[in-house]
Structure 1
């Protein structure tokens, strides 16, 4: 089966910033993404968990995009404009997709 090169961008950001991030991605021409809850983790600021939280205010989400390599810079510019002022991590990995026309 034929596969096609793509980029997988994962943005982990505070849940209240999700809408601002996804609006910025739309303006940058990103046509699809997936949002997943982040249950906890550890990093420079120590260990954290969503356990015991009532609302989304203290939580994190992961926004995952699969895009064509030539669209990466626009997505990263849009994401950085939101993430630079808030807690967040952006990672980019190479991946392969089956239906390139969807990205």
Structure 2
């Protein structure tokens, strides 16, 4: 979601797509493009009823949600362990950074 504009009678919800920007040739440039892809306009009271209904359903099914999250966590941790075991994905130590010459050295000369 990119934004929500609440009004007395209607609410506008804007959904967006976030994509990496590959136009820069620098590796450290990690900018992104955000593009609005859909806008939903609905009565504010209907949105509030939907939110309350959803929260009630979460509360009523807390036990099932807890079990599902624990099950998903175990599977996720297994997948992470598999990736960590692959040699290509192991962290590589970055070379030591060079220090800049001190400004005091230039003044002493």
TM-score category of the 2 structures, normalised to the smaller one: under 0.3
TM-score by length of 1: 0.22
TM-score by length of 2: 0.21
Larger radius of gyration: 2
The structure whose residues are more often helix, as a share, is 2
Task: State the structure with bigger RCO (CA 8 A, min sep 6), 1 or 2.
Answer: 1
